[in-house]
Amino acid sequence: MTGLTRPRVALLLSAALLLTACGDDKKDDSAAAGSTKAPSEAGQIVYHYGTDDTAQGPAAPIPGAVTGGTVRVYNVVDFGHLDPARIYSNYEQAVALLMTRTLTTYKQSGSDVNLVGDLATNTGVTSDGGKTWTYTLRNGVTWEDGSPITSADVKYGIERTFDKTYVEGPTYLQSWFANSQDFRKYYPGPYGGKSLDAIRTPDARTVVLKFSKPQPDVPFALAMPAGAAVKASKDTRAKYDVDPFSSGPYKVESHKVDKSLTLVRNTNWKPESDPIRHAYVDRWEFAFGELPLATNQRLIAANGDDQAGMTSLDQVSPEVLQQVVSTPDLLSRTISGYTPFSTYYAINTKRITDLRVRKALMYAFPRQQVRQILGGPDTGDFATTIGSPTLVGHETSDLFQVPPAGDVEKAKALLAEAGVPNQKVVYAYGNLPRGEQVAVAVVAGLERAGFTVVKKPVNAKTFSEDVSDPDNSYDLYGGGWGADWPTGATVYPPLFDGRKIGRGSFNTSFLNDPAINKEMDQISRIQDPAEAGKRWAALDRKILAMVPVIPDLYDKNRQLYGPKIGGAVQDNVLGIISLTGIFVKQ
């Protein structure tokens, strides 16, 4: 987002994104129409992304909010990580907002999403086109023990992300400092006593980050937990992942891994220093392990304490979706919206090398049936591009005009043309019950076009890693991606840069086209976000033409909460329910 290079001028980037919830339906194959249609979202959803350097604490009070109460949160699994250097999943980022403050953050109000300073007074100042970024810390930012958060803490927090133990978080900052993906060679982290000279702290309230190349997206990268401050004397390393030292409105009272997590007020957090957070709730009690369907059923019933119950992870299960959407009382207790995520099915381009076969897969894939199993139109709109419409500069296009239920005849024709009418396809999926159901539909759909399909269940825990192995023996597998911040720079390079291929990478289609790689480098250097957006959109079409993935859905979120929960809104950056404004109705 290079508009920020102008010092101290708040530039409002209005990227008006028109998402007409009904528009896509017209393109839907009317094959399954004539059924009960889900009430659609409001006609148009417009996200405005911008920067606001005038944001000040305290955050504007939410109408009707009262202080007090205990919220019970039921999530199917515990947070894998609470250590800011190790957080990447959206639900972990959401809870991190309660305990961890970063240099910058997002202030959201309705469909307005503005980057603002969190620990810092603004989103950062640069005078040399993005090579040096200077941040000044706000007054009154304190740790849970009352001590002030200093620039040394910010520096230590970023240094920590280099350590070889903390590999789970994003790697933007690290690779920008080091100018390479192999950043641990450049700096091994603070545990050996070394310091990262590229971060300077001239005084306790000033942090200066120096990069060798212009890095216009630094303010965005600092909004991720990896840009959080960590107090060196409170760094408990492995234990920090379970019980981090808090800089936010709440702190950990107890955390029994995989069982429960209790957060209580951090009385040393000062609302005046915080532009986005509220602390209405007295106490958060997280309980883990309950199956999502059971959680949804309990929230539907909302007996006793569950009146102030919610989930910060589980979606409304397909089994109860119909009931929830068609019961007005329940529907009013849900948050929903488009997320930054889009889903796709990656084709292993190393194994399926014939473009015609890949196209045949795309035409044969039964997206309609799969979506129906997962809950129908409420779960997402059929995608015609790889990137989600929430990206800046997104252009609606439909390169192939594939009907949602597929086009069996075209697929057959393509296979015949390629000379492999019964092409074998190994479809890999995570071995959860839902995955099994989807697999049945996928197999049925592909077989109709003549493919010989082998279903390969894979341990759900290692699935995303296994399919990232360039030597994997699968041909087709699901995936999804959400931009870390809404530019193509956080979508296309991770997914399609051939130089990133390897275990653990997200380029699971193994596309490695030198021309595409070069173009991605070029676009990443463009200063003007609107122009970059246009180029990314064009690149999207170019990549899609090679069919390394089959676009599936633009993801929608729907989560249920109890009748006494107020202030529930969707965090549009994370695509999940936001916890910072929750209050308990009395």
Q: Residue 43 or 502: which CB sits closer to other proteins? A: 502
* Least distance in angstroms from the C-beta of 181 to other proteins: 10
Binding flag, residue 456, other proteins (CB under 8 A): yes
Instruction: Output the smallest distance, CB 66 to other proteins, in A.
Output: 25
Give, in degrees to the nearest 5, the angle at Cα 267 between 264 and 273: 115
Candidates 110-118, 136-144, 369-377, 539-547 — which segment interacts with other proteins by CB under 8 A?
A: 369-377
**Among 21, 211, 19, 3, which Cα is nearest to 114's?**
3
Interacting residue with other proteins among 21, 355, 454, 569 (CB under 8 A): 454
**Cβ 534 to other proteins, closest distance in Å?**
32
Considering only residues 507 to 566 of the shown chain, the ones binding other proteins according to CB under 8 A are: none
CA neighbours closer than 13 Å in the CB half-sphere of residue 561: 29
CB 458 within 8 A of CB 439: no
Which residue has 């035409």 as its token pair?
363
Q: Is 301 or 545 the residue whose CB approaches other proteins more closely?
A: 301
- Least Cβ distance, residue 403 to other proteins (angstroms): 13
216 lies in the site for other proteins, by CB under 8 A: no
Angle between helices 529-545 and 514-524 (to 10 degrees): 170
Q: How far is the CB of 65 from other proteins (least distance, A)?
A: 27
Token couple for 504: 């653990």
Told to check if 194 binds other proteins by CB under 8 A, we report no
Is position 243 an interface residue for other proteins (rule: CB under 8 A)?
no
Amino acid letter for position 81: H
Exactly one of 45, 137, 300, 357 binds other proteins (CB under 8 A); that residue is 300
From 323, 413, 494, 513, residue interacting with other proteins (rule: CB under 8 A): 323
Binding to other proteins (CB under 8 A): which residues in 126-185?
164-165, 167-169, 184
397-426 residues near other proteins, rule: CB under 8 A: 424, 426
Nearest approach in angstroms of CB 34 to other proteins is 6
Near other proteins in 472-511, by CB under 8 A: 473, 503-504
Choices 134-142, 282-290, 479-487, 524-532 (CB under 8 A): range interacting with other proteins:
282-290
Q: Answer yes or no whether residue 111 interacts with other proteins by CB under 8 A.
A: no
The token duo for 457 is: 């269940």
* C-alpha dihedral (155, 573, 482, 559), degrees to nearest 10: 130
DSSP code of residue 39: P
The CA distance from 290 to 430, in Å, is 20
Task: List the structure tokens of 246.
Answer: 């808090």
Residues 174-193 that bind other proteins (CB under 8 A): 184, 191
Supply the angle between the helices 355-364 and 408-418 in degrees, to the nearest 10. 160
Interface with other proteins (CB under 8 A), residue from 249, 377, 387, 482: 377
Residue 102's φ and ψ, nearest 5 degrees, are: -115, 175
Long-range contacts of range 63-68, CB-CB < 8 Å, 24 or more positions apart? 64/566, 64/585, 65/278, 65/280, 65/566, 65/567, 65/581, 65/583, 66/280, 66/583, 66/584, 66/585, 66/586, 67/279, 67/280, 67/282, 67/583, 68/280, 68/281, 68/282, 68/584, 68/586
Which residue's CB is nearer to other proteins, number 50 or number 562? Answer: 562
Q: How far is CA 233 from CA 70, 145, 216, 511, in A?
A: 31, 12, 32, 45
Q: Tell me whether residue 142 is exposed, middle or buried, using C-beta atoms within 10 angstroms of its C-beta: 0 to 12, 13 to 18, 19 or more.
A: middle
When asked if residue 294 is in the footprint of other proteins (CB under 8 A), the reply is yes
Query: Among residues 50 and 375, whose Cβ is nearest to other proteins?
Result: 375
Smallest gap, in angstroms, from Cβ of residue 487 to other proteins? 22
Residues 250-269 that bind other proteins (CB under 8 A): 256-259
Output 87 or 544, the one with its CB closest to other proteins: 87
- Stretch of 115-123, 429-437, 526-534, 555-563 lying at the interface with other proteins (CB under 8 A): 429-437
Q: Give min distance, CB of 238 to other proteins, in A.
A: 4
Q: Which of residues 8-67 bind other proteins (CB under 8 A)?
A: 30-38
d(CA 240, CA 169): 14
Beta-sheet pairing, 334-347 with 476-482: antiparallel
291 lies in the binding site for other proteins (CB under 8 A): yes
Instruction: Pick the closer one to other proteins by CB: 420 or 426.
Output: 426
Cβ of residue 111: shortest distance to other proteins, in angstroms? 26
Round to whole Å and give the CA distance between 446 and 443.
Answer: 5
Among 3, 57, 58, 80, which residue interacts with other proteins (rule: CB under 8 A)? 80
The residue within the footprint of other proteins, chosen from 304, 409, 422, 545 (CB under 8 A), is 304
Among 145, 203, 409, 436, binds other proteins (CB under 8 A): 436
Task: Tally Cβ neighbours within 10 Å of residue 186.
Answer: 15
At its nearest, how many Å lie between other proteins and the CB of residue 10? 35
Nearer to other proteins among residue 317 and residue 572 (C-beta): 317
CB 95 within 8 A of CB 310: no
